[in-house]
Structure 1
Amino acid sequence: MKRTFTVIGLGAFGSTVARELARLGNDVLGIDLDPGHVNAIADDITQAVVADARNEDTLRDLGVHDSDAVVVAIGEDLEANILVTLTVKNMPKPEVWAKALNHNHHRILHKLGADHIVHPEHEMGLRLAHAMMYPEVLDYISLGHDLFTVEVRASEKLVGQTIDSLGLGSRGVQMLLIKHQREILAPPANDYVFRVGDQLVMVGTLDNLRNLSPYL
């Protein structure tokens, strides 16, 4: 279903979000003070505007209050980020996603009532570190409360073994599904025998997943 989004701040993070939302078939309004940022994305989203998002009347004239969600992606001007978040949060409809620059900024955005707070640089740094430490991990998602889902490529030593042989239950890990080429087994049987090219999707705490990694 097509939705309407506004992205305020069209730097590297904001422009990436805006382009991807548009690519997924949504109406996207992009706002930035820098004409260069606006011109760079104008052909990729529904509408790109040079405007001062700190002005509430300007936002209302642009229809921001009718958006399903607003991403406050202003990355350098802390004051502007906070002011725009507060302004948009006072609008009744949009869900507010705000970019935090640091921990203290996160606390302020939380106090303002931002629905979602993201730390793109911090999160990308974590992903890079995990990718370097665990190259067999294809992807992971934090579920909160130290729970993660991970997608892992089955190693050669795992081929020929069964799920049951891993003792996942006693290790506090659950196998959600196995992908093999175009085949998806969800959930797989405990007597499933691992094959070359299998991709395993599991859920567990970070410590339990780390303890399991040598056996994968």
Structure 2
Amino acid sequence: MAEADSVAVIGLGRFGRAVALELMASGTEVLGIDGREDVVQDLNGQLTQVVRADATKEESLKQLAVHEFDRVVIAVTGDIKVSILCASLVLQLGNPVIWAKATDEQHGRILEQLGVHHVVYPESDMGRRVAHLVRGAAKDYLEIDAGYALVKAAVPAELHGVTLGESEVRRRHGVTVAAWKGGNGSWHYAERETVLRTGDTVLVVGPTKRVEAFAQLR
């Protein structure tokens, strides 16, 4: 899938606003749509274009040429019916790839049944991420897929001063060290010849239980 040059974000609450501003920071053209005048005014000048409009009206979406955007993010919160109606209308326009925020599994299933291309669950995803961080010693945690994760962790003592090839991390712990960072330095790809030291940080990928166990090592 090609990188998106233009994105329409419908619903500019905390989630939609964060998505829109991050897209702008990455150089993407962003149209923001919300029904609240105060929200629109607050973001005026921060997005390529931000308008007050009713996204449950087909005519409004057509006038704003939403169908001409590469992607549409439906970030409507608080009213599932509005989210579903908005998704249905954007799908009827035919062109954009749609990302939609779901508040729960039932909402997500309906969006998927409509044909929404990507459904995200920011609250539950963040909840699971925080749970793993609270539970373990990982500095950060990212679930890549069910049962598979990427963890940022301190380098355990058993890896200090030896090459990754000699340490046999994959055989002994069932994980792969993908990258490392020394002290306050920058990130580097991990190679067989990489030697890790006290104070270094690593990115480790593998089955969730195994990467969490690795993060617990001292």
Both proteins in one fold, TM over 0.5: yes
- Residue identity matched to 2:41: N
- SS of 1:160 mapped into structure 2: coil
Among 115, 118, 122, the residue aligned to 2:117:
115
- In the alignment, is the contact (CA less than 8 A) between 1:8 and 1:30 conserved in 2? yes
- In the alignment, is the contact (CA less than 8 A) between 1:173 and 1:204 conserved in 2? yes
Among 155, 178, 181, the residue aligned to 2:180:
178
- In the alignment, is the contact (CA less than 8 A) between 1:8 and 1:14 conserved in 2? yes
Among 190, 193, 197, the residue aligned to 1:187:
190
Match of 2:43 in 1: 41
- Residue identity matched to 2:186: R
- In the alignment, is the contact (CA less than 8 A) between 1:178 and 1:188 conserved in 2? no
Among 75, 78, 81, the residue aligned to 1:76:
78
- SS of 2:72 mapped into structure 1: strand
Query: 1:110 and 1:53 mapped to 2: Cα distance?
Result: 19
The range that moved more, 152-161 or 108-117, is: 152-161
Stretches (4+) displaced over 6 A: none
CA offsets 1:47-68 (integer angstroms, 9 cap, x no match) = 1111100011110110100011
Among 43, 66, 69, the residue aligned to 1:67:
69
Query: TM-score, normalising length from structure 2?
Result: 0.88
- In the alignment, is the contact (CA less than 8 A) between 1:166 and 1:215 conserved in 2? no
Q: How large is the RMSD of aligned CA atoms in angstroms? A: 2.1
What are structure 1's unaligned runs of at least 5 residues? none
Query: TM-score, normalising length from structure 1?
Result: 0.89
* Offset, 1:125: 1.5
- In the alignment, is the contact (CA less than 8 A) between 1:8 and 1:72 conserved in 2? yes
- Residue identity matched to 1:205: P
Change (3 A) 1:73 1:7: same
* Offset, 1:166: 5.7
Match of 1:136 in 2: 138
Match of 1:208 in 2: 210
- SS of 1:43 mapped into structure 2: coil
Query: 1:2 and 1:88 mapped to 2: Cα distance?
Result: 17
Change (3 A) 1:24 1:183: closer
- SS of 1:86 mapped into structure 2: helix
Match of 2:96 in 1: 94
* Offset, 1:92: 2.4
Query: 1:72 and 1:107 mapped to 2: Cα distance?
Result: 15
| 1:149 and 2:131 matched | no
* Offset, 1:210: 2.1
- In the alignment, is the contact (CA less than 8 A) between 1:158 and 1:215 conserved in 2? no
Number of residue equivalences: 213
What are structure 2's unaligned runs of at least 5 residues? none
* Offset, 1:2: 6.9
Query: 1:131 and 1:178 mapped to 2: Cα distance?
Result: 19
Change (3 A) 1:211 1:92: same
- In the alignment, is the contact (CA less than 8 A) between 1:173 and 1:203 conserved in 2? yes
* Offset, 1:162: 4.7
- Residue identity matched to 2:108: H
